Amino acid sequence: MPISQSIQNSLAGSSMIRKMFEEGLSLKAAHGAENVFDFSLGNPDRDPPAAFLETLKALTAKPAAGAHSYMPNAGYFTTREAIARKVSCDQGVSLGGGDIVMACGAAGALNVVFKTILNPGDEVIVSKPFFMEYRHYAHNHGGRLVEIPAKPDFGLDVDAIEAALSAKTAAVLINFPNNPTGRIYSAETLAALSGALLRHGARSGRFPYLIADEPYRELAYGGRAVPPVLSAYPHAIVVSSFSKNLSLPGERIGYIAAAPGIDDKQNLLAGFIYATRILGFVNAPALMQRALAAFFERQDALSRDDMLEVYTSRRQAFMEVLNGAGITYIEPEGAFYIFARVPCGKNSVGDDALFCEHLKKHLILAVPGSAFGAPGYARFAYCVQETAIRASAQAFKNAVKSWAVY
Ligand SMILES: Cc1ncc(COP(=O)(O)O)c(C=O)c1O
């Protein structure tokens, strides 16, 4: 039986990251998982913090009446209040439970936001390189991404974004700490972006939303601050999740938070709640919502376990491995990815797809920068054991040596 033309077309150009995932499985089956250096996926290997698992255990040991029932589409109010307290703290604003809508991960949250705000043909501006699923999410809801190259150091090019604003711009979508570059934008950059959006809104009568996708907010290295967005621009929306900082990607739990002064806030939130329902999410997972509410009550909840410490050490190990192999990279400020420059071969200048194929021969899996709109780079995810990172050092050296002949 036929499938829709649109899905058929999308399948043809399907995600490179997923393809790597499948190839990784067959390489592991052939060579043994311990011999394959799989840095392809942002799928944390760490268990969730012990305090979270204890909370979960206690909840499942004594299930409350109705614990598995439907609930309001926005989520449990106690959970929304707990998230509002956390977001208020992160963002320097004062939010209540009514300002939060629980979601099925940041991915679910973005789909809900796009469904709510996009009219057919509307544009969403993103800075390139970016998490490529964004294209699909915008397309799902009749929108189109406008991809603006970042500055050479992968900072936001605010002037270029300002020049791309048009009557069709529904939103500017930013992601920081960034996947794939690890960049964290400064408060000054956010202020400049806010200024550009306000000027455009005043001129055109349409103030674009600023959507910040922040699942890596808690993973910032060397004491770096991740500046707030909700207090930087009145029409800002944060989407986030606990996939990365609490290692819960399979549990699909996240949220949407709207800035306190956002235009027509009640209508916007009603839109998010309605979209959650009609997209078939219905509500975010009940058990995870209850676990989060109880977890955030604990004194040790915000100690971040040893997550940041572990990733700090892995980041250092990865940089040493790449230094040893002579591969240069953008030093990550946050998240758990290293975006490395493809070394020059004999005849191939920065061919990232070829380089990643070549790495595979040395049992190293990485994602070509083209998958993020940045040819000439390769992304390595270091959410894997540090022993595996260190053990890959020789394979990287061999790969770079033999790459010189390509
Ligand atoms: C930048 C970015 N946004 C959103 C997501 C989706 O995360 P979630 O598991 O919260 O849906 C990811 C996942 O890798 C990501 O890297």
Per-residue pLDDT of the chain (406 residues; tens, 9 = 90+): 789 988 888 887 666 666 777 888 889 999 998 899 999 999 999 999 999 999 999 999 988 889 999 999 999 999 999 999 999 999 999 999 999 999 999 999 999 999 999 999 999 999 999 999 999 999 999 999 999 999 999 999 999 999 999 999 999 999 999 999 999 999 999 999 999 999 999 999 999 999 999 999 999 999 998 999 999 999 999 999 999 999 999 999 999 999 999 989 999 999 999 999 999 999 999 999 999 999 998 877 766 557 899 999 999 999 999 999 999 999 999 999 999 999 987 767 789 999 999 999 999 999 999 999 999 999 999 999 999 999 999 999 999 999 977 6
> Residue with structure tokens 């058929």?
8
Q: Rounded distance, CA 269 to CA 44, Å? A: 31
CB count in 10 Å sphere of residue 81:
18
Q: Which two tokens stand for residue 126?
A: 């993103």
- Same domain flag for 31 and 123: no
Q: Are strands 254-258 and 100-103 parallel, antiparallel or unpaired?
A: antiparallel
Measured from CB, residues less than 6 Å from any atom of ligand 1 are 42, 105-107, 131, 175, 179, 213, 215, 241, 243, 249, 254
Taking the centre of ligand 1 as the mean of its atom positions, its distance from the CA of residue 156, in whole angstroms, is 19
Domain count across the chain: 2
Atom 16 (ligand 1) nearest CA: 179
pLDDT at 17: 63
- Pick from 274, 302, 330: which residue ends a domain? 302
Q: Rounded distance, CA 311 to CA 254, Å? A: 21
Based on the number of CB atoms within 10 Å of its own CB, is 274 exposed (0-12), middle (13-18) or buried (19 or more)?
A: middle
- Same domain flag for 192 and 275: yes
- Same domain flag for 111 and 257: yes
Taking the centre of ligand 1 as the mean of its atom positions, its distance from the CA of residue 400, in whole angstroms, is 31
Question: Which of 102, 133, 175 for mutating ligand 1's site (highest number of atoms within 8 Å of CB)?
Answer: 133
In which domain, by residue range, is 293 found?
63-302
pTM comes to 0.95
Q: Rounded distance, CA 261 to CA 181, Å? A: 31
- Same domain flag for 221 and 189: yes
In this structure, which amino acid lies at residue 144? R
- Same domain flag for 77 and 214: yes
> How is residue 384 annotated by DSSP?
S
Taking the centre of ligand 1 as the mean of its atom positions, its distance from the CA of residue 215, in whole angstroms, is 6
Taking the centre of ligand 1 as the mean of its atom positions, its distance from the CA of residue 162, in whole angstroms, is 26
> How is residue 70 annotated by DSSP?
-
The string over 222-254, giving b where at least 16 C-beta atoms fall within 10 Å of a residue's C-beta and e elsewhere, is eeeebbbbbbbbbbbbbbbbbbbbbbbbebbbb
Taking the centre of ligand 1 as the mean of its atom positions, its distance from the CA of residue 259, in whole angstroms, is 21
Q: Which two tokens stand for residue 60?
A: 């499942």
Q: Rounded distance, CA 358 to CA 165, Å? A: 40
Q: What is the CA radius of gyration of the chain?
A: 21
- Same domain flag for 310 and 295: no
**392-401 pLDDT per residue, tens:** 999 999 999 9
Look at residue 54 and tell me if it is in a domain.
Answer: no
